[in-house]
Amino acid sequence: MHPTLRDTLEQTAEKYPDKDGLIYPRRDQHWTFEEFDTKANQLANALADEGIEKGDRVSTMLHNGSEIVLTVFACAKLGAVFNPLNYRLPAGEIEYILNDAESSALIFEDATREAVADARANLDTVEQYFSIDENGPSWADDFYDALSAGSTVRPETVVEEDDIYAFIYTSGTTGRPKGVVHEHRDMVEHNLICVAEGGMRRDDVGLSAFPLYHCAELQAALFPRIHVGATSVIHHDFDPVRALQAIDEYDVTLFFAAPTGWNGLLQAAEDVDADLSSLRLGLYGAAPMPKEILDGCLDVFDAGYLQAYGMTEIGPCGSFQYPEDQLPKQGSAGLPALNHDLRIVEPDGDPTDEVDQGEVGEILFAGPCTMREYWNRPDATAESLREADGQEWYYTGDLGYRDEDGYLFVVDRKDDMIITGGENVYPTEVEDVLFTHDDVVEAAVVGEPHDEWGEQVVAYVVGDTSEQALDQYLTESEALADFKRPRAYHFVDELPKNPSGKVQKFKLRDEEVA
């Protein structure tokens, strides 16, 4: 029998029982790996006492904390299916996901209580509710009371490598989320890849401050650390000042953030007196690191940087840009991850229909961490997973190319490409030029219908500037062809983003941003 996600914690606890496993300062919890494993057993047995069985779905509406970490490993011990939700979701979206997943239990906190209460009447399958806070509603059990009552004995449930570990619903840049079905085998393989690619060691200390309901922080940061025996410090949410202080206090060596998060750390570092010398590896994803932010990080933190590119459906890591490539290959997404193959093909074409080197096409990955399916979405599954040459290829929906050295450059989402007057415009290249203007904080470019050209290029901008100033700047710039220049500008306070930091352009196109 091959190892499962459950085994990764249990084997670490057996090897390093007295080593610091999980630290959650908000509740003053400081657990060794043995204590961590024992509490996961307790929660698993508490859930079983409430009728949760192998295959049942257990959902969470939680910020970061020991509770969400215990829940995922309790599910792994029971063979139950972990289903973490974005804690920002309103009642209607909670209803959609929990009904689609056919969830049996929901764990929540005070911050998400109102949305859960509003959704309750329309939840078809949820029978058990747990609140992690004191004075929870009468219709919910107390999480910590249930935890303390659970047996410390390891559940006897047989969990195998091809059992489902989780339904991770995609945060969505194009519409309704889909439930990505991952097996235990996927996660064990993914752990080993991240450990190897990041050079993770048991003497590392990692800080989780970005959302653990998202696959990047959960599956590419926390899980590999637990697998290798490294210590994990958990912050309830991301606050740049507190993150810098934690790096100092706990001698943090590993930290993951989106580029926007690293920018926040840079701004805060100017006013925070903290020793940051322990940090040896800064991980990031969601987008390439803008050169201005990368240069600042290299000045402030004595660390290497490792970018992971991918998506929920493949683990999420499909390629890595290594520390030595950050400057020479700035803007790239790196090289395929261990045990992964990469192809660039004609959009929606057969996996064998590869384009020439340097040409833009759709990015495909084949690897051991690819999802089993989209839950309840056979048509979407068939569209995204296709067999060729003895491998299963995942169609990312991203457009990109490989340079002469084989490095991947992501151009844009296939659905975001703009065709104006018969010419292809990739929004990212327009955004990159806009970003070089001193007064532009953020920018997102989309195509909007136009009677004559089919589509026109439109920019949504965060920053203290004007349409006239930006149009003059781009007109005078030699970095952008005239047909790529935006024909309209909208100035907004913020851009809509999903949890990984990617801009949700469908909301811009649907005029959901004022």
188: nearest Cα among 7, 17, 397: 7
Q: pLDDT at position 173, please?
A: 47
- Output the tens digit of pLDDT for each of the chain's 514 residues: 679 999 999 999 999 999 999 999 999 999 999 999 999 999 999 999 999 999 999 999 999 999 999 999 999 999 999 999 999 888 988 999 999 999 999 999 999 999 999 999 999 999 999 999 999 999 999 999 999 999 999 999 999 999 999 999 986 544 578 999 999 999 999 999 999 999 999 999 999 999 999 999 999 999 999 999 999 999 999 999 999 999 999 999 999 998 889 999 999 999 999 999 999 999 999 778 888 889 999 999 989 999 999 999 999 999 999 999 999 999 999 999 999 999 999 988 999 999 999 999 999 999 999 999 999 999 999 999 999 999 999 999 898 999 999 999 998 777 787 878 777 787 888 888 898 899 999 899 998 888 778 789 999 999 999 999 999 999 888 777 788 899 999 999 999 887 666 788 878 876 655 4
Q: pLDDT at position 505, please?
A: 81
Contact (CB, 8 A) for 373 and 181? yes
Q: How far apart are CA 286 and CA 316, in angstroms?
A: 11
Q: How far apart are CA 367 and CA 354, in angstroms?
A: 18
pTM: 0.86
444: nearest Cα among 504, 501, 399, 398: 504
Give burial (CB, 10 Å; 0-12/13-18/19+) of 72: buried
Q: How far apart are CA 291 and CA 288, in angstroms?
A: 9
Contact (CB, 8 A) for 336 and 346? no
Radius of gyration of the chain (CA): 23
Q: pLDDT at position 428, please?
A: 82
- Domains along the sequence of the chain with CATH: 5-183 (3.40.50.12780), 417-509 (3.30.300.30)
Give burial (CB, 10 Å; 0-12/13-18/19+) of 246: buried
Q: Would you list the DSSP string of 263-329?
A: HHHHHHHTT-----TT--EEEE-SSPPPHHHHHHHHHH---EEEEEEE-GGG-SEEEEE-GGGTTTT
Structure tokens at 153: 């004995």
Widest CA span in the chain: 70
Instruction: Please state whether beta strands 179-183 and 423-425 pair in parallel, antiparallel, or not at all (unpaired).
Output: unpaired
Q: pLDDT at position 172, please?
A: 53
